[in-house]
């Protein structure tokens, strides 16, 4: 992704942090739905690179992670 694509991806997106994130910051990612892909970024470096994944890939990751969480 080049810088122009990166800026386009960020504009107008609503970013969400995990509910497991603490209020004091730390290591966390944020996600946003661009409509065509799920965007993932480092919450500490919001102007940094953005990873784009398909909705299908994101759904698979969430399903896998949910099944690995303790009850």
* Contact criterion met (CB below 8 Å) for 16 and 33: no
Q: What's the domain count of the chain?
A: 1
Tokens of 31: 């996600």
Question: By residue range, what is the domain housing residue 64?
Answer: 3-68
The whole-number pLDDT of residue 24 equals 67
The whole-number pLDDT of residue 66 equals 83
In a structure prediction context, what are the per-residue pLDDT tens digits for the chain, which is 71 residues long? 444 444 445 568 898 887 766 666 667 888 999 999 999 988 888 888 999 999 999 999 989 888 866 65
Q: Which residue has the tokens 């739905």?
A: 33
């Amino acid at each position: 992704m080049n810088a122009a694509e990166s800026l386009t991806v960020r504009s107008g997106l609503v970013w969400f942090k995990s509910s497991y994130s603490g209020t004091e910051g730390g290591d966390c990612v944020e996600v946003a739905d661009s409509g065509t892909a799920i965007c993932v970024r480092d919450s500490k470096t919001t102007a940094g690179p953005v990873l784009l994944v398909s909705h299908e890939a994101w759904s698979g990751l969430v399903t896998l992670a949910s099944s690995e969480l303790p009850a």
